[in-house]
Amino acid sequence: MIATFALLSGVQASGSPQDDASIHVAALRPGAFVLTAMDAIGATLVDVANIQIAADGTVTTHVYFVSKDGRLFAGKVSIFEDYVVQYDCKNGWFILKGGTLADDKFNWVGVVTIPASVTPWAAALKPKIADVYGFTEVCTADHSRPRIGNGKAWTTVASTVLAELRAP
């Protein structure tokens, strides 16, 4: 799995326990998800049911990372990561806008802030990363990957994926 933080310099997990509400609000939102990557350490899901299209044509949705063993952030282990990703399908780029980190019980771990210096990634120059982040699913007519968890909350689908990752 392509690690998000390996791609960005200056990204920090921060925030306060009040941010816990954002995890639980998102958990109530039913979706439909595409599993864009899965290996021994984790998986990536793209929410294709809750896509938002802005007046300027950019598209925003959530991309979820599920980590088998988690990653340490400020002394806490994050198993689930909920990122907001914006895509400019016409011009071929995408960018992380921020995210929320949660433990294996979906309790808040931190908030990911993206520095203003981070620039969009060109999908053509980073095709593997673009694929993992769902560029094909969001920006093209290629919808060949099956949808999973139709009508279920991302937390339900992510928990199922985590169980598969941890199965012997």
Digit-coded pLDDT (tens) for 97-124: 998 899 998 888 888 888 889 999 999 9
Residues 107 and 20: their CA atoms lie apart, in Å, by 7
Total-model pTM: 0.86
The CA-atom distances, in angstroms, between 99 and each of 19, 24, 163 are 11, 14, 23
pLDDT at 18 over 70: no
Q: Is the pLDDT of residue 20 over 60?
A: no
- Tell me the pLDDT tens digit for each residue of 128-156: 999 999 999 999 877 889 999 999 999 99
Alpha helix positions (H), 40-139: 127-132, 135-139
